[in-house]
Amino acid sequence: MAERRENGAGTKPKYDKERNRWCQKISYSDHNGIKKRKSIYGGTEGECKQNTKNFIRDVEAGLDMTANKMTVGQWLTKWLKTYKKPALEVTSYASYEHQVNHHITPKLGGVILKQLKRIQIQEFFNEKSKKLSPMTLELIKAILVNALKMAMVDGYIIKNPAVSLMLPAVKDKVVKPLSKEEIGKLLKTVESDRLYSMIYLAIYTGMRKGELAALTWQDVNLKSKTIHVRHGVKYNREAKQYEIGSTKTPTAVRDIPISKIVVDELKRHKARQAAEQLEIGDAYEKNNLVFARENGKVAVLNGIDIKFSSLITKSGIERRTFHDLRHTFASICISQKVNIKALSEYLGHSNISITYDVYGHLLPGDKEGITDTITAYLMGI
C-alpha cells in the first residue's frame, strides 16, 4: 500500500524567471480529504518558505483553502442568508441586514476574512462610538461575534478576532423633556395641524411613535378609558414600506388607562377623521387606523419626524424629536412622584432597570430626607 504523503511534501523553492518570484510546489489534502497540489510564491526564497509554512498550518487547522479570497463582506452576506434569514422574523432580519450593510460592510467588508485582525475591529468600534448609541454598538458587536463564530465552525478562520472586544465608553444622551411652557407653545402651534392629536397623545400617554402609528380604533376603548397597545409600525426593508407588526418588545404589549381629556380629544379626532374620509371617498383605505395618512394608509415614520421638526421650529422652542414627547411624559410623572415600577410598566419597558437608566437622573436625590427619616424613626432610643 502506498504511503500517504504529508501535507507540504513536494519540491524545494525554485526561482521562477518568468514571474520573477520564488515558487514552491506542494501536495496537500484539503478540508474534505481530497488530494491537491498548489504552487506557492514569494518575493524571496525565505518569504516563499514562510508562505508555504503558513499555508500548511491553515490546511492542518482544517480551513477551507478554496475560500482564501473570501472577504468579510462576502461572508456576512452568506451568513445572513444561510443562518439568520431562516431563524429570524422579518423585522429582526431586516435590522441585522441594516447593521451589516450600513455600518460593518462599508468599513470592514473589503478585508480578506482570514486576514481580519482584532485591532481592525477595535478601531472600527472606536470610530463608530462617536456616532452610534450603546445599544446599536452592542447589536453590531453581537452580529460580528456570531458571524465570525460560524466562520470558524465552517472552517474559514482559525479563531474569532471579535471575541473579548472592548466597546468604547459612550456618553449617554441627556434626556431633554419639554417644560410646561414649551408644551403649551407646541400645542398652540399645532392645534390646526393633522399631527395635533398624535402629538397630544404622545404627551399624555408616553406612547412610542410606532405604537401610535399602529393604533387602531379597535385598540381604543373610550368607555373604559383604556388603550390596548398591541402593535408597532416598522419599516420592511425587503418590501420597502412601513408595515404594522409586533411591538418593540413583548413587554410593550400592554393596556394603559387614559384620562377624560384624552378621551375627549380622541372623540374630536375621530370626528375630524370621519369628515376627511367622507371627502376623499373611495380612494380612502379603510384600515381603521387612529393616526393614518390622508388616504388611510399606514403613517410613514420618518415623514412624521420631518413634519414634527418643522412644527418645533415654527413654535419657537428648542429643537426636539418626536421621541422627546415620551421623555416629557416620563419626566412629568417622575416629578409628580409616580411609582417608578408603575411608570416602567405604563411605558412598556422590558424591565425597570431601563426606566432607571433613562430617567434615574430625574429622580429626587433627597439625601437629607433619608437622614431625617432614619433620625425621626430612631428618636427616643
**Which of residues 219 and 3 earns the better pLDDT score?**
219
pLDDT of residue 26: 87
- Together in a domain, 19 and 121: no
Per mean pLDDT, which range of 45-54, 113-122, 309-318 is the poorest? 45-54
Position 226, amino acid: T
pLDDT of residue 1: 39
Report yes or no on 176 lying in a domain. no
- Together in a domain, 351 and 226: yes
Chain-wide mean pLDDT for the chain? 86
pLDDT of residue 361: 65
Q: Is the pLDDT of residue 132 over 60?
A: yes
Percent of the chain with pLDDT over 70: 87
pLDDT of residue 89: 76
Percent of the chain with pLDDT over 90: 51
Report yes or no on 289 lying in a domain. yes
Q: How confident is the model at residue 63 (pLDDT cuts 50, 70, 90)?
A: low
| Sequential DSSP letters for 290-316 | TT--TTSPPP-HHHHHHHHHHHHHHHT
**Which of residues 34 and 138 earns the better pLDDT score?**
138
Q: How confident is the model at residue 79 (pLDDT cuts 50, 70, 90)?
A: very high
- Together in a domain, 204 and 133: no
Q: Which residue has the cell 454598538?
A: 137
Query: What pLDDT digit, counting tens, does each position of 211-256 carry?
Result: 999 999 999 999 999 999 999 998 877 778 888 888 877 888 999 9
Residue range(s) defining the domain that contains residue 82 = 72-153
Report yes or no on 368 lying in a domain. no
Report yes or no on 101 lying in a domain. yes
- Together in a domain, 278 and 328: yes
Per the structure, how many domains does the chain have? 3
Q: How confident is the model at residue 376 (pLDDT cuts 50, 70, 90)?
A: low
pLDDT of residue 237: 72
- Together in a domain, 192 and 254: yes
Please check whether residue 220 is in contact with residue 266, taking contact to mean a CB–CB distance below 8 angstroms. yes
Q: How confident is the model at residue 363 (pLDDT cuts 50, 70, 90)?
A: low
pLDDT of residue 367: 47
Please check whether residue 93 is in contact with residue 137, taking contact to mean a CB–CB distance below 8 angstroms. no
Helices 323-335 and 196-205: crossing angle in degrees, nearest 10, is 40
Q: Is the pLDDT of residue 172 over 70?
A: no
- Together in a domain, 197 and 332: yes
Report yes or no on 173 lying in a domain. no
pLDDT of residue 379: 59
pLDDT of residue 133: 75
Per mean pLDDT, which range of 159-168, 195-204, 261-270 is the poorest? 159-168
- Together in a domain, 89 and 122: yes
- Together in a domain, 302 and 225: yes
Supply 215's cell numbers: 393604533
- Together in a domain, 201 and 255: yes
d(CA 66, CA 116): 17
- Together in a domain, 235 and 347: yes
pLDDT of residue 277: 92
Q: What is the mean pLDDT of residues 135-156?
A: 89
d(CA 340, CA 357): 12
Q: How confident is the model at residue 328 (pLDDT cuts 50, 70, 90)?
A: very high
Sign, CA dihedral 189-266-243-85, equals positive
pLDDT of residue 364: 61
For the purposes of burial, counting CB atoms within 10 Å of the CB of 281, is it exposed (0-12), middle (13-18) or buried (19 or more)? exposed
- Together in a domain, 236 and 148: no
Query: What pLDDT digit, counting tens, does each position of 101-125 carry?
Result: 989 999 999 999 989 999 999 999 9
pLDDT of residue 248: 78
Report yes or no on 15 lying in a domain. yes
Report yes or no on 168 lying in a domain. no
pLDDT of residue 5: 44
**Residues paired with residue 255 on neighbouring β-strands, in sequence order:** 228
**CATH number assigned to the domain comprising residue 127:** 1.10.150.130
**Which of residues 374 and 260 earns the better pLDDT score?**
260
pLDDT of residue 176: 85
- Together in a domain, 56 and 76: no
pLDDT of residue 192: 93
Report yes or no on 162 lying in a domain. no
Q: Which of 40, 62, 84 is the last residue of a domain?
A: 62
**CATH number assigned to the domain comprising residue 270:** 1.10.443.10
